[in-house]
Amino acid sequence: MRISMDIELKDIPGQLVQALKPVSDLGGNIISVLHQRDKKTASGRIPVQLVFEMEESRLDRLVEKLKAKGMHVVSIGKERLKDSMVVILIGHIVHSDIRDTIERIDSTGFAEVVGLSLSMPGVDKKSSAALVLSAIGKKELKEALKILEETATKKGIMIISPI
* pLDDT in the model for residue 75: 84
* pLDDT in the model for residue 122: 86
pTM of the entire structure? 0.54
134, 112 contact by CB (below 8 A) = yes
Fold agreement (2-76, 83-160)? yes
Residue 160 three-state SS: strand
Q: How many residues comprise the chain?
A: 163
* Domain 2-76: CATH architecture, name and number where available: 2-Layer Sandwich (3.30)
* Strands (E) located in 71-145: 72-76, 83-91, 111-119, 127-135
Q: For residues 81 and 78, what is the distance between their CA atoms, to the nearest angstrom?
A: 9
* pLDDT in the model for residue 81: 64
DSSP letter string over 30-78?
EEEEEE-TT---TTSPEEEEEEEE--GGGHHHHHHHHHHTT-EEEEESB
* pLDDT in the model for residue 131: 93
* pLDDT in the model for residue 80: 59
Which stretches in the chain have pLDDT values below 50? none
* pLDDT in the model for residue 14: 92
Superfamily, domain 83-160: ACT domain (3.30.70.260)
* pLDDT in the model for residue 18: 94
Per-residue pLDDT tens over the stretch 29-53: 998 888 877 788 878 899 998 888 8
**Residue boundaries of the structural domains of the chain:** 2-76, 83-160
